Structure 1
Amino acid sequence: MKKFNWNNIWVNLRLLLIFGLVVFLYAFTSKRNEARKTKKTIVEFVNNDALYVGYETVNKLLIENGQQLKTIGKDKVVLNDLEKILNDHDMIQKSEVFISIDGVLKAVVTQRTPIARVFSEKGSFYIDSKGNTMPLSAVQTARLPLVLGEISDKNRKEIFELLWFIYNDDFLKKNITGIEILPSGSLRMTNRNYNYEIEFGKTVEVVRKFDNYKAFFQKAVHDTLIDTYKIINLKFTQQVVCTK
Structure 2
Amino acid sequence: MTIIGCGFISLLVAANSKEQQHKCKEVSISIIGTGEKYYIGKTDISEILKAGTNDRLINRPLTQINLARLESLLEDNPWIKDAELYFDSRSVLHVIVTERQPIARVFAKNGNSFYIDSSGLRMPLLKKVSARVPVFTNFVAAKKMSAKDSILLNEIKQIAVFLDKETFWNSQIAQVDIMEDRKFELIPVIGSHIIRIGKAEFIDQKLRRLLVFYKQVLSKTGIDKYSVLDLQYEGQVVAIQKGAFSSVDSVQLKKNIAELLKTGQLMHLNDSLQQASLRSIAQRVDSTSINYAATIESEEDSGSTHHDINPVLKKEPVKTKIKTPSVEDKKVKTSEPKKEIKRPKAVMPKRG
TM-score (norm 1): 0.81
Q: 1:142 aligns with which of 127, 131, 138?
A: 131
Superposed, 1:79-94 pairs within 5 Å as 79-94=67-82
The range that moved more, 187-196 or 83-92, is 187-196
Give the conservation status (yes or no) of the 8 Å contact 1:51–1:139: no
- What SS does structure 1 have at the residue aligned with 2:103? strand
**Letter aligned with residue 176 of structure 1:** I
Q: 1:36 aligns with which of 22, 31, 37?
A: 22
RMSD: 2.6
Superposed, 1:49-198 pairs within 5 Å as 49-67=36-54, 68-122=56-110, 123-150=112-139, 152-198=149-195
- What SS does structure 2 have at the residue aligned with 1:185? coil
- What SS does structure 1 have at the residue aligned with 2:150? coil
Structure with more relative contact order (C-alpha pairs < 8 Å, separation 6 or more): 1
CA distance in 1, matches of 2:13, 2:166: 57
CA distance in 2, matches of 1:220, 1:139: 44
TM-score (norm 2): 0.58
Q: 1:46 aligns with which of 32, 52, 55?
A: 32
**Letter aligned with residue 101 of structure 1:** S
Partner of residue 8, structure 1? none
| 1:139-184 deviations in Å (ceiling 9; x for gaps) | 2211111101225134232332222222222222222121111012
Partner of residue 219, structure 1? 216
- When residues 199 and 38 of structure 1 are mapped into structure 2, their CA distance, relative to the original with a 3 A threshold, is same
- When residues 178 and 29 of structure 1 are mapped into structure 2, their CA distance, relative to the original with a 3 A threshold, is farther
**Letter aligned with residue 29 of structure 2:** V
Aligned length: 224
Computing the radius of gyration over CA atoms, which structure comes out larger, 1 or 2? 2
- When residues 30 and 198 of structure 1 are mapped into structure 2, their CA distance, relative to the original with a 3 A threshold, is farther
Give the conservation status (yes or no) of the 8 Å contact 1:53–1:137: no
